[in-house]
Every structure is written in structure tokens, then in C-alpha cells.
């Protein structure tokens, strides 16, 4: 029996990671293939691939949007793709391995030797990672490591508001020591967001050497107000700078390895990245603040347009890059004390799984038993802000289902902005209702958008089943 190994991972490590694992295992079972899947989830690596697993494998599937330590698989046929493909196209990926269409993973030395040789045609080899895909993976590696700081810090700051909005201010009548402590701890976690984000972008590119320069660049970006835009610049600059320096110094004798890794590389990397971010800090800060001010102004000037954009982004790819762009923007504004923007983002992210859950309940005769069971699970996923629960339903007919989910999310987001709801935490769904301003109104906004989407989806399924009959 053929044996394939796989690695799955997504930026949040909550849903996509394990949905891809399940899809690959199910497809392998149907095709009579043995498979072992390593997951890179929120709590770390599980079911880790051993040297024996790698040696015995006939091929490797990397369905991950973050660093998966692919150098382990040198000499093996390998396909590197997104976690979404792992969910949606597991049989195609497995079949590509079986048909010999996967590219053999080469070491850096082998790749350098072959740079002038004729390469195989694009349609004959599957799995060669494009430059754009590589950039996205490095970026998502930063997001993945940043999110726990965002969620933990944001929730602790939000909990401190239970004693009052000024409960951490010693000069206020609302002052409370416990609230001040919680806000201080949460604020410390929040202050690490940009440096961690930047460090792990650079680390994904150049390993530990990149992380050091990236972390310092992130600290300077944060201190100068350059924020996430500055962090992205510093992360990619530090990463590719260190790659270049490592290549330049590769000719040094092995006895100088310690000098190179402990002395030369950190000093040169930190110096160059630090100078760049010190010079760019002010102009990037101006751009960053201008973008944030414009987005914040839309809340009152044009909540319909803002809600429509946020709703469509959040329901477009269910935790993918477009969804994450909206989420990270909300996080940036949250760190600046703007709790209105994140309220609309959270509402839009909660809505898609609730649309599915309500549709399978109201129109239960139009869905099979498996879909109805998955619909019940989506109640839990929706209530806890896990958008990915809608993926299996959207994947069956994306051109029709995704626009329906966008409509529902947009309505929820627009109503949230019109009602001026404030959500001070970046995640948690309905679990954070005690710290939400106007919690019942917020739930109502989400349920209205979800119900509209559910009715549209249910009517679509009814019409589809009628035609099939």
C-alpha cells in the first residue's frame, strides 16, 4: 500500500488546520492510501512526523499557510499548497503524488547547482511554490504567532472594563487595583504584537538569524508609530537581508561558524534593520495613521459602505487572507482604543456559521443527515467566533453560497455600525458578551443578518433540490 505523509497548518491553528487533516484522511481512506497527517495547530505540533515516517513515505503534501519546516523532506516528492486546497482538493493532491507529478524537494545547494539548468515545464510538475505564495506564507507565519498575544491581551484589557472604563486610572473614582493589574498585563501582551509579528515573518524567511533582526526592527516600528505597515517592511527586510548575509559569509572556514552566528550576523542584521526603520519610522507612521483615521471616519460618515466592505471581506474566504486583512485592521484600531470597528468585524465573522446553522434548522428537509449534524456544530462555532465552520458548505458551490454568506455578514456588520456597538475584545464571540457595550443589540444585529442569509440559503437549496428531483 502506498504511504503519503502530510502537514497542515493555518494562521490561527483553530479550524482550517484540522479540517484539512480530516479531508486528507477521508480522501486517503476512500482511495486506499495510507496517510499520516501532522497538524500545526494553536497548541503546537501534534502527531509529529518521525524520521521513519518521512523515510517510508512515497510523497509529502504540505497544506499549510505558515512555516512547516519543509527542509525535513529533502529528496521526497512534495506538493506545497494552501490549507484551503487541503480542505477542498484532497483527492487531487493525493492523485498528483501517485501520478508522479510532485516536485522532488531539493536542498539549497542542489537548487543553486541547478539554477542554470533547463527546468521542467510548469504543467508537468506540481508543487513548486511561487514567489507570491512564499510571501503570503511568511506573512501568515507572523500573523499565526501574533494572534495569541492579540486575543489574550485584548480579552484581559476588555475584562478590566467591567469595573468601569476608567477603572485603571488612579485619578478616577472608578479606580480598582485588580482592574489596573489586568489592564497592565493585557497592555504588556498588546505591546508585543508588532515585534512578534515582525520577528516571525523574518524567522520564516531566514530562521533564528532573521528572528533577532526582525524583533528589533519590530520594536523600532512600534516605538516610531509605524505599526503593522512598518512591521511588514522590517520583517521582510530583515529576513531577506539575513539570507543574503548568510550566503555572503558561507565561504568562511568552519572554525569561524561560532563567530559568524553569534557575532557577525546579529550585529549586521540589527544594525541595518535598525537604521532602515529609524529612517522610515516617521513617514510610515504618517501613512499608517492616515489609513487608520480614514477607516475610523467611515464608521460615522458612511457606516453602510464600511459594513458592506467588512461583511464581504469577512465572508469571502472564512479565515483566509482577505478575512485576516479585515481582522488585523480591527485589531490595529482596537489597540488605539477604537472599539466600534472591531464590533462590525466580529459580527461579520460570527455570521457565516450561524447562517449555515439556521438554514439547516429551518429548512432541515432540504439537507441530508450529515449536513444537519454539521449545522448543529456551526451553532457552537458561530457563537465562539470561528468562521471556518461554513467552509464545507461553501466549498460545495462557492459561486452561489459565498455571495449569500456575504449578504448575511454585511447586514450584521452594517447594523452593528448603525447601532454604535462597542466590542473591546478581538475574539471570543458571544463568550465576551459581559464586556460588550449594548450586548443584546449586538446579538440582535448578528441574528438578523444570519437569519436573512439562512433564508436565502434555504430557498436556494429548496430550488436546487426541486430541479434535481
**Among 201, 198, 239, 191, which Cα is nearest to 217's?**
198
Q: Please say if the pLDDT value at position 396 is more than 80.
A: no
The domain boundary residue, chosen from 127, 146, 176 = 127
Same domain, 105 and 206: no
The domain boundary residue, chosen from 103, 127, 151 = 127
Same domain, 166 and 75: no
Same domain, 203 and 245: yes
pLDDT band at 109 (very low <50, low <70, confident <90, very high): low
Q: How far apart are CA 294 and CA 37, in angstroms?
A: 44
Q: Is residue 47 part of a domain?
A: yes
Same domain, 172 and 123: no
Could you give the residue ranges of the DSSP H alpha helices within 62-207? 83-88, 90-98, 108-113, 131-160, 177-191, 193-206
Q: How far apart are CA 413 and CA 141, in angstroms?
A: 28
The phi and psi torsions of 100 (rounded to 5 degrees) equal 75, 25
Q: Are 333 and 292 in contact (CB under 8 A)?
A: yes
Same domain, 11 and 115: yes
Q: What are the distances in angstroms from CA 417 to CA 409, 444, 445?
A: 12, 13, 10
Q: Is residue 298 part of a domain?
A: no
- Give the CATH number, domain containing residue 94: 3.40.50.2300
Q: Is residue 297 part of a domain?
A: no
Q: Is residue 96 part of a domain?
A: yes
The domain boundary residue, chosen from 95, 127, 159 = 127
Q: Which helix (H) or strand (E) holds 276?
A: helix 265-301
DSSP, collapsed to helix, strand or coil, labels residue 452 as: helix
The pLDDT tens digits for 199-228 are: 999 998 888 888 999 999 999 998 888 878
Write down the pLDDT at residue 75: 85
Q: Which helix (H) or strand (E) holds 240?
A: helix 227-248
Q: Is residue 35 part of a domain?
A: yes
The three-point CA angle 157-181-219 to 5° equals 65
String of b and e for 112-124 (b: at least 16 CB within 10 Å)?
Answer: eeeeeeeeeeeee
The pLDDT tens digits for 39-50 are: 987 677 888 888
Q: Which helix (H) or strand (E) holds 304?
A: helix 303-314
> Cβ neighbours of residue 396 under 8 Å, at least 6 residues apart?
none
Q: Please say if the pLDDT value at position 35 is more than 70.
A: yes
Q: Is residue 258 part of a domain?
A: yes
State the residue for C-alpha cell 511588514: 232
Same domain, 95 and 233: no
What does the mean pLDDT of the chain come to? 83
The pLDDT tens digits for 76-98 are: 888 888 888 888 888 899 988 88
State the residue for C-alpha cell 501534534: 46
Q: How far apart are CA 380 and CA 366, in angstroms?
A: 21
Q: Beta-carbon neighbour count of residue 275 at 10 Å?
A: 11
> Cβ neighbours of residue 245 under 8 Å, at least 6 residues apart?
209, 264, 265, 268, 269
| Structural domain count of the chain | 3
The pLDDT tens digits for 131-171 are: 776 787 888 788 778 878 877 887 787 788 778 767 888 88
Same domain, 422 and 462: yes
Q: Are 220 and 281 in contact (CB under 8 A)?
A: yes
Q: How far apart are CA 41 and CA 105, in angstroms?
A: 24
| pTM exceeds 0.85, yes or no | no
The three-point CA angle 417-230-203 to 5° equals 110
Report DSSP state, residue 390: G
| Among the ranges given (30-44, 113-127, 271-285), the one the predictor scored with the smallest mean pLDDT | 113-127
| Among the ranges given (160-164, 309-313, 444-448, 459-463), the one the predictor scored with the smallest mean pLDDT | 160-164
Same domain, 111 and 221: no
> Cβ neighbours of residue 143 under 8 Å, at least 6 residues apart?
11, 197, 324, 328
Q: How far apart are CA 409 and CA 18, in angstroms?
A: 24
The pLDDT tens digits for 265-314 are: 889 999 999 999 999 988 988 887 787 777 777 767 788 888 898 888 88
pLDDT band at 432 (very low <50, low <70, confident <90, very high): confident
Q: Please say if the pLDDT value at position 321 is more than 80.
A: no
- The boundaries of the domain holding residue 385 are 303-468
Q: Please say if the pLDDT value at position 254 is more than 60.
A: yes
Q: Is residue 153 part of a domain?
A: yes
> Cβ neighbours of residue 367 under 8 Å, at least 6 residues apart?
359, 360, 375, 461
Q: What are the distances in angstroms from CA 320 to CA 28, 67, 151, 175, 226?
A: 25, 16, 18, 40, 25
Q: Beta-carbon neighbour count of residue 107 at 10 Å?
A: 11
Write down the pLDDT at residue 12: 65
Q: Are 396 and 349 in contact (CB under 8 A)?
A: no
Catalytic pick among 10, 312, 349, 445: 10
String of b and e for 58-84 (b: at least 16 CB within 10 Å)?
Answer: bbbbbbbbbbbebeebeebbbbbbbbb
The reply to whether 10 belongs to the active site is yes
Same domain, 282 and 158: yes
Q: Please say if the pLDDT value at position 121 is more than 70.
A: no
Same domain, 312 and 415: yes
Write down the pLDDT at residue 450: 94
Give the residue-averaged pLDDT of 404-419: 92
Write down the pLDDT at residue 113: 53
Same domain, 170 and 113: no
State the residue for C-alpha cell 476588555: 158
Same domain, 287 and 183: yes
The phi and psi torsions of 7 (rounded to 5 degrees) equal -130, 130
Q: Is residue 105 part of a domain?
A: yes
Amino acid at each position: 500500500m502506498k504511504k503519503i505523509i502530510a502537514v497542515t497548518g493555518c494562521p490561527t491553528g483553530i479550524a482550517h488546520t484540522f479540517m484539512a487533516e480530516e479531508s486528507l484522511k477521508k480522501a486517503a481512506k476512500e482511495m486506499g492510501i495510507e496517510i499520516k497527517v501532522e497538524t500545526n495547530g494553536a497548541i503546537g505540533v501534534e502527531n509529529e512526523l518521525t524520521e521513519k515516517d518521512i523515510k517510508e513515505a512515497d510523497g509529502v503534501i504540505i497544506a499549510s499557510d505558515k512555516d512547516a519546516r519543509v527542509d525535513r523532506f529533502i529528496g521526497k516528492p512534495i506538493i506545497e499548497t494552501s490549507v484551503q486546497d487541503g480542505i477542498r482538493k484532497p483527492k487531487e493532491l493525493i492523485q498528483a503524488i501517485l501520478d508522479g507529478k510532485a516536485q522532488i524537494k531539493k536542498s539549497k545547494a542542489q537548487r543553486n547547482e541547478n539554477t542554470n539548468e533547463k527546468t521542467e515545464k510548469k504543467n508537468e510538475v506540481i508543487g513548486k511554490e511561487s514567489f507570491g505564495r512564499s510571501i503570503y506564507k511568511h506573512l501568515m507565519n507572523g500573523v499565526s504567532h501574533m494572534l495569541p498575544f492579540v486575543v489574550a491581551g485584548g480579552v484581559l484589557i476588555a475584562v478590566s472594563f467591567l469595573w468601569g472604563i476608567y477603572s485603571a486610572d488612579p485619578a478616577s473614582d472608578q479606580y480598582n487595583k485588580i482592574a489596573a493589574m489586568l489592564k497592565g498585563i493585557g497592555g504588556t501582551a498588546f505591546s508585543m504584537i508588532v515585534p512578534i509579528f515582525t520577528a516571525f515573518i523574518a524567522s520564516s524567511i531566514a530562521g533564528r538569524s532573521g528572528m533577532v533582526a526582525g524583533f528589533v526592527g519590530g520594536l523600532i516600528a512600534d516605538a516610531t508609530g509605524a505599526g503593522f505597515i512598518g512591521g511588514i517592511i522590517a520583517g521582510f527586510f530583515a529576513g531577506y537581508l539575513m539570507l543574503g548575509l548568510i550566503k555572503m559569509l558561507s565561504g568562511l572556514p568552519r572554525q569561524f561558524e561560532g563567530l559568524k552566528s553569534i557575532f557577525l550576523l546579529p550585529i549586521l542584521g540589527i544594525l541595518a534593520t535598525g537604521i532602515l526603520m529609524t529612517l522610515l519610522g516617521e513617514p510610515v507612521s504618517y501613512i499608517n495613521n492616515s489609513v487608520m483615521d480614514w477607516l475610523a471616519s467611515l464608521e460615522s460618515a458612511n457606516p453602510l459602505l464600511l459594513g458592506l466592505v467588512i461583511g464581504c471581506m469577512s465572508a469571502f474566504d472564512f479565515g483566509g487572507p482577505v478575512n485576516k486583512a479585515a481582522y488585523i485592521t480591527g485589531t490595529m484600531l482596537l489597540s488605539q482604543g477604537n472599539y466600534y470597528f472591531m464590533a462590525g468585524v466580529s459580527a461579520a465573522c460570527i455570521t457565516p456559521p450561524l447562517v449555515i446553522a439556521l438554514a439547516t434548522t429551518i429548512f432541515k428537509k432540504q439537507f441530508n443527515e450529515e449536513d444537519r449534524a454539521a449545522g448543529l456544530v456551526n451553532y457552537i462555532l458561530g457563537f465562539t467566533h470561528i468562521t471556518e465552520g461554513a467552509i464545507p458548505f461553501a466549498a460545495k458551490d462557492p459561486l452561489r453560497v459565498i455571495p449569500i454568506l456575504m449578504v448575511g455578514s454585511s447586514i450584521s456588520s452594517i447594523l452593528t455600525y448603525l447601532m454604535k456597538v462597542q466590542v473591546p475584545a478581538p475574539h471570543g464571540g458571544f463568550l465576551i458578551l459581559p464586556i460588550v457595550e449594548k450586548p443584546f443589540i449586538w446579538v440582535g444585529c448578528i441574528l438578523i443578518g444570519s437569519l436573512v442569509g439562512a433564508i436565502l440559503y434555504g430557498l436556494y437549496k429548496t430550488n436546487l433540490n426541486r430541479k434535481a428531483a
